[in-house]
Amino acid sequence: MSNTLSILIVGHRGLLGQECMNRLRPLGRISGVDIDTCDITRPEQIEAVIDSSRPDWVINGAAYTDVDGCESNRELAWAVNAGGAGNLARSCRSRGIGFVQLSTDFVFDGRKGEPYLEDDVTAPLSVYGASKLGGERAVREAGGRHIIVRTAWLFGKGGKNFPDTILKAAQSTDPLRVVEDQWGSPTYAPDLADAIGELIRKDARGIVHLTNRGSCSWFEYAVFILRAAGIKKEVIPVSTEELPRPARRPRFSVLSLARYEGIVGKKMRPWQEAVKEYLLNWQNSGNIIT
Ligand SMILES: NC(=O)c1ccc[n+]([C@@H]2O[C@H](COP(=O)([O-])OP(=O)(O)OC[C@H]3O[C@@H](n4cnc5c(N)ncnc54)[C@H](OP(=O)(O)O)[C@@H]3O)[C@@H](O)[C@H]2O)c1
């Protein structure tokens, strides 16, 4: 890897942001800011931070990511996820800086029934999805050198994530009820950070779908996590209707990795391998199945 780039991570305390700070070091000089010094809804703070760190690339890991919370905080969702992305993209554009925006599988309605391509029609079902799509549009309209990375079902150390939730819930005497009719691709934050690094190295452009390989339902994901951790616990499959949430989610939001693999010439590893590594590293279970 070349060792010459300067990269600024915005939202460096978030799940992905932390891993970008760790994993992108081989690319060069990595710095990070979060909402306390760089609120992305405040253009003047963005300008000050960018002018002092003078990066070659900015990666935007900052977002309002509470999918259900977005339903009742529509203005904040749009201000951060759309407005903030646009503010960053314009600041980068006017200085000739490359910009990586993170987006989501929730820009789709899940009706396609096979993996989504980058140019498939978007139709978000939630305020979160719509505001993230607004972010994509704002980045495109800013007109600079940019990559829009759509990812999904992120998990990793130091953030709210599904494996931890399942392992914690398994300690309760109550049966575990997990949705069986929503399909997607779990994505390990360190793998995503590495893959973003690959896209930067290739000086990629446009929208790129990026998750770990393979797909599952939330129910299958939960069963795999428990087996991999060596925990015996009954998991009851339930329908989305049985576990109502404020925000609607797509039923099938698997993303095609063909474009990423074509650009980079490497495959993402299967989500099962990544989950096993996560459990091994961060749960110290010692019960990983092989
Ligand atoms: N997590 C997923 O499953 C998932 C799936 C698909 C796509 N994505 C996308 O991937 C990206 C990274 O997600 P993540 O899960 O790593 O997010 P995260 O853990 O929620 O981190 C987001 C970070 O952004 C900060 N932030 C919030 N509002 C801000 C503002 N106005 N200005 C500056 N910073 C602000 C947060 O600070 P506070 O904590 O103080 O609010 C937090 O440090 C996001 O664009 C998200 O939409 C995530």
Domains recognised in the chain with CATH numbers: 5-155+188-212+248-269 (3.40.50.720)
Q: Using a 6 Å cutoff on CB, does residue 28 contact ligand 1?
A: no
Q: Using a 6 Å cutoff on CB, does residue 80 contact ligand 1?
A: yes
Which residue's CA is the nearest one to ligand 1's atom 38? 35
Confidence (pLDDT) at 31: 97
Pocket test for ligand 1, best of 34, 58, 59 (most atoms within 8 A of CB): 34
**241 CA to centre of ligand 1 in angstroms:** 27
Q: How far is CA 14 from the centre of its chain?
A: 10
Residue tagged active-site, from 116, 128, 260, 278: 128
128 has catalytic annotation = yes
**65 CA to centre of ligand 1 in angstroms:** 5
Q: Using a 6 Å cutoff on CB, does residue 88 contact ligand 1?
A: no
CB 105 within 8 A of CB 154: no
Q: Using a 6 Å cutoff on CB, does residue 14 contact ligand 1?
A: yes
Pocket test for ligand 1, best of 13, 33, 35 (most atoms within 8 A of CB): 35
CB 126 within 8 A of CB 134: no
Cα 195–Cα 36–Cα 83 angle in degrees, nearest 5: 65
**186 CA to centre of ligand 1 in angstroms:** 17
Per-residue confidence in pLDDT tens, the chain, 290 aa? 446 899 999 999 999 999 999 999 999 999 999 999 999 999 999 999 999 999 999 999 999 999 999 999 999 999 999 999 999 999 999 999 999 999 999 999 999 999 999 999 999 999 999 999 999 999 999 999 999 999 999 999 977 889 999 999 999 888 899 999 999 999 999 999 999 999 999 999 999 999 999 999 999 999 999 999 999 999 999 999 999 999 999 999 999 999 999 999 999 999 999 999 999 986 554 444 33
Backbone angles phi, psi at 100, to 5 degrees: -110, 120
Nearest to 6 by CA among 148, 204, 200, 142: 200
Sign of CA dihedral 72, 70, 107, 134: positive
**230 CA to centre of ligand 1 in angstroms:** 31
Confidence (pLDDT) at 283: 57
Backbone angles phi, psi at 137, to 5 degrees: -65, -45
**168 CA to centre of ligand 1 in angstroms:** 23
